[in-house]
Structure 1
Amino acid sequence: MHSTTRGRRCPALVGILAGSVLLTAVPSAATTGGNGSGIGDPYYPDDGNPGYDVSHYDVRVAYDPDRPDRLTGDTTVSATATVGLDRFHLDLEGFEVGSVTVDGRPAKSFTRIGAHELVITPARRITEGSRFAVRVRYSGKPVGESWHSFADGGANVTGEPHSATAWYPANDHPSDKATFRLTATVPDTWTVIGNGRPGPVTSSAEATRTFRWYEDKPLATYVSTIAIGRFAVNTSQLADGTPVIHAYGPGAVIDPDAEALLPEIIGFLASKFGPYPFSSAGGIVTGSPAEEGSGPLALETQSRPTYEGVMFDSSMVHEYAHQWFGNSVSFSDWRDGCLAECFAQYTNQLWEEKGGADLDTGFYAGTVEENRENPGFWNVRLYDPGRGKELDPALYDKGPLMLHALRRTVGDAAFFGTLRRWQKEHRYANASWRQFEALAKKVSPRQDLTGFFDAWVHGTVIPERKYLYPGSLGAVAAAGKR
């Protein structure tokens, strides 16, 4: 991700273990749906909801760009109760909720609390371990800040850390990942692009078309997307048959060279991190939103990143690195943003290195020396940088330096071996920065990585020399003093 939209939410207790969400719910929150029902994120403690684990979203919407004040939705959330539930919450911004059913029975009641809580009381208590499906029908004007309108009437949804609740009810936290199906009906001159593989497109006598998309690997809600526009759509495939779909909105630059570069980018990243994790690829390139400065310049929407205006190599490398770091392996909570952004940004340096760049003398030494006397460059922690700093510039600037220093500390074999093992062990799941540190120490047990991580990740000043210029970087530093 290169630029963000942000929202504020506000803990129950949650323990997160890679691959699942383990909820230790406060009884009044999980079993009675009381206030303070968030999943327990330290930065956004109202986000998400305890008491259940979502396995699948089936999102059905209808939208007419000539009536931008009205979207109709019919979403079914399939989940498993991790505690007994007398009441539970979903996150949804705006909209008028017309009906709610749980396992086909009308809910006993449903009400709205705060900015985004939909509190549901089922007709029967949901017992611990039970699978259940809640269906919510809703309509109205999309109001979430991640809903972006375009001058021609089109729209799309992108944003971080929040976006899903602008268009469907969700357990809106990265720790609860689920597969995703989108069914969207629009006037027949419009096209809908979503995550994953496309399904059948059907037409109706009412001059509408219905588009279907399915993401068969679990996604975090903030990387789900819908894009409605008069798109030019190009299709191709990777060498292994993976479908590649690029969609260009009015005003977007169609660059065949950039499009042709994608297989090489994916192949390069796979050589560093392991197999490409998803069953489709491509990009959504929009025009500029109607609202000045709204929306991200690029976001790693799963399997099909979204770009504003143009798709080019460095942006593509960054957003596709997120398919491994952030999407396949997602962080546990918003303190862990370095697990996505530090790695994606360093991948741009790896791409430059592939083209012949000397990262030691150019990128690394140049950046360090340029900022040696700049305390502001070093004063943000990379793990747990603080609320409101979860996507701080330090993750994009200091973060890649940290990873290059780690690489020079442990050597290429251990460094890239750690990255590939990280991807393999946590594929399609969640993990924390602390787990990454533990893995790096396990792979490289003879290195002083505790001191390294304390200096680079948890410190707020420039690292001391032995961590700043480790391994072969020491020769670079010595040469610079001559």
Structure 2
Amino acid sequence: MHRRFIAPGALAAASVLLAIPASAASHSPGAPGIGDPYYPAYGNGGYDVSHYDLRLKYQPATDELEGTATLLARTTQDLSRFNLDFLLDVDEVRVNGAKASFATSGEHELEITPKTPLAKGTAVTVVVRYSGVPSSKQAYGFTSWHRTPDGGVGANEPEAAWWWFPSNDHPLDKATYDVSVLVPDGTQAISNGTLQSTSSRLGWTRFNWRSNKPQATYLATLAVGKFDITTGRTESGIPVVNAYSKDLGDNAGAARASIERTGEVADWLSEYFGPYPFNALGGYVPNTNTGYALETQTRPFYSPRQFANGSNTSVVVHELAHQWYGDLVSVTGWKDIWINEGFARYAQWLWSEHEDEGTAQEIADYVYASHPADDPFWTVKPGDPGPENQFDIAVYDRGALALQALRNEIGDDAFFAVLKGWPQKYAYGNATVADFRTYAEEVSGQSLSALFDTWLFQPSKPAAPAAADASIARAAEGGGAAPVQPKSWKKIAATNDVHEH
């Protein structure tokens, strides 16, 4: 963190100092990172955003994007300068109506100096006018903007916003969104939340989307292309909008057969996690060559490759489970990724039970037995995997094993009370792995530090006695037959690269 400290001057300069208001003298730049040890430059300090209003124009043929972003924020310190995370070319910045000076630094920092310093607690309106070709921009050697034959898509984790809007890019700063996109007639723009309106004029159509609940920046998405769109409602009344690229080819049927079950799956998940937390639902499949899927809030992104071997409802379960675990309750820091991925994976195990294709216990036994003690799988600590292993398969499978161990330790009643109560306790906010352990202890009335340490933080395979105590791989000590592969395993394993960014 880079802070400028103003030291008192010499006695001879006292009269000069007295001429400077104390509030101005104490102003300093906001930190160029929000403080995440995994990604020190991600996010920014000194302010908190409450709303993004994005008014965009996109030309699919050339990948040219023009935008005006209006950010409503409040300062959290006396600010002389602050940063936004952004890559495109900036034409003008205004802060509370007055032109501000700006410069770029680092891989993705836009440094903004307002005309007058900002006092702590000040409501701030920041307007950024910009343009550029997102696919031409890289940071750290990669891009999160995906060109398609008929447009482009912004979707990635832990970063995607830089390529299409300026932001405070970290889950700690969640906000609501209005996304208005102008595209050529015959092309659609898909984003989060509800479609408020569309209008056409002089060969262009404007789509206005609204996401009315707090949303992390990486969960905001934009997809422009030619889509077949289906609409409906869940049994509980949530409107569903799904979109499929018109050129998915052989994957089209399998994609639809999976994603059209979105409403059914969300209603089923609500039995475990509580009421669906948003007012919109759906999914979209653009014709990208990526392999992953992403839980973009209310409307997950799916790669066509997820359906290359046929329908896979399990991946839909995974991304929709994130609407509670990851979206409603977001990580405090990226080291808390287990709260997202371990739970979404475990939801797939519960779906396997629901479909009578193998119980969560049978899957846990199979996972435990499938990885010998010297498998690198066990060296990854799901509770703090490090940025290089943030999306390692161990965070998913070993992370879900930890949940099965917890379920066996505290019993089904307490376990499912935890699963349902946790999203309510931290709704629309952020939490840590430690917060989850504390909550599980409160609900169960048991001390769980040893269990969490064994299954989440030790870089080794839990020994057979510990596994047996957790009722996992109970045959391990006795040398019994290896667990049979559950019927659902191939479908679950097919989603192993679901977040391989």
TM-score of the superposition, structure 1-length normalised? 0.88
Please list, as runs of the form range in 1=range in 2, the aligned pairs for 1:149-160 lying within 5 A after superposition.
149-151=147-149, 153-160=150-157
Aligned counterpart in structure 2 of residue 86 of structure 1, from 77, 80, 93: 80
The residue type equivalent to 2:467 in the other structure is L
Number of aligned residue pairs: 446
- Report what 2:98 is aligned to: 105
Please list, as runs of the form range in 1=range in 2, the aligned pairs for 1:196-275 lying within 5 A after superposition.
196-205=193-202, 207-252=203-248, 253-255=252-254, 256-275=256-275
Runs (4+) off by over 6 Å: none
Q: Is the 8 A contact 1:156 1:226 kept in 2?
A: yes
Please list, as runs of the form range in 1=range in 2, the aligned pairs for 1:38-437 lying within 5 A after superposition.
38-68=33-63, 70-93=64-87, 95-107=88-100, 109-142=101-134, 143-144=137-138, 145-151=143-149, 153-205=150-202, 207-252=203-248, 253-255=252-254, 256-289=256-289, 295-309=290-304, 310=307, 312-359=312-359, 362-437=362-437
Give ranges in structure 1 of 5+ residues lacking alignment.
1-10, 14-26, 290-294
RMSD after superposition: 2.2
Whole-angstrom distance in 2 between the partners of 1:469 and 1:173:
39
Whole-angstrom distance in 2 between the partners of 1:298 and 1:360:
23
Instruction: Give the SS at the match of 1:400.
Output: helix
Change (3 A) 1:38 1:120: same
Change (3 A) 1:204 1:31: farther
The alignment-based identity, stated in percent, is: 39
Instruction: Give the SS at the match of 1:323.
Output: coil
Change (3 A) 1:100 1:420: same
Q: Is the 8 A contact 1:62 1:184 kept in 2?
A: yes
- Report what 2:486 is aligned to: none
Whole-angstrom distance in 1 between the partners of 2:348 and 2:27:
46
Whole-angstrom distance in 1 between the partners of 2:29 and 2:133:
26
Change (3 A) 1:12 1:333: farther
Q: Is the 8 A contact 1:157 1:225 kept in 2?
A: yes
1:477 Cα deviation from its structure 2 partner:
5.2
> 1:79-127 deviations in whole A, cap 9, x for unaligned?
111111111111101x2211101111111x1111111111111112211
Comparing 388-397 and 52-61, the one that deviates more: 388-397
Whole-angstrom distance in 2 between the partners of 1:86 and 1:244:
45
1:45 Cα deviation from its structure 2 partner:
0.6
Q: Is the 8 A contact 1:12 1:40 kept in 2?
A: no
Instruction: Give the SS at the match of 1:271.
Output: helix
Whole-angstrom distance in 1 between the partners of 2:404 and 2:366:
13
The residue type equivalent to 1:90 in the other structure is L
Whole-angstrom distance in 1 between the partners of 2:378 and 2:470:
21
> 1:129-171 deviations in whole A, cap 9, x for unaligned?
11111000011111241110012x3111111111001110000
Whole-angstrom distance in 2 between the partners of 1:417 and 1:12:
44
Q: Is the 8 A contact 1:12 1:45 kept in 2?
A: no
1:394 Cα deviation from its structure 2 partner:
1.1
Whole-angstrom distance in 2 between the partners of 1:236 and 1:120:
44
1:360 Cα deviation from its structure 2 partner:
5.9
- Work out which of the two has the higher radius of gyration on C-alpha atoms and give 1 or 2: 2
> 1:431-474 deviations in whole A, cap 9, x for unaligned?
0111011111122223x411111111110111133431235547
- Report what 2:467 is aligned to: 468
1:357 Cα deviation from its structure 2 partner:
3.8
Give ranges in structure 2 of 5+ residues lacking alignment.
4-22, 482-501
The residue type equivalent to 1:441 in the other structure is E
Comparing 335-344 and 303-312, the one that deviates more: 303-312
Whole-angstrom distance in 1 between the partners of 2:353 and 2:479:
21
Structure with more relative contact order (C-alpha pairs < 8 Å, separation 6 or more): 1
Whole-angstrom distance in 1 between the partners of 2:361 and 2:286:
37
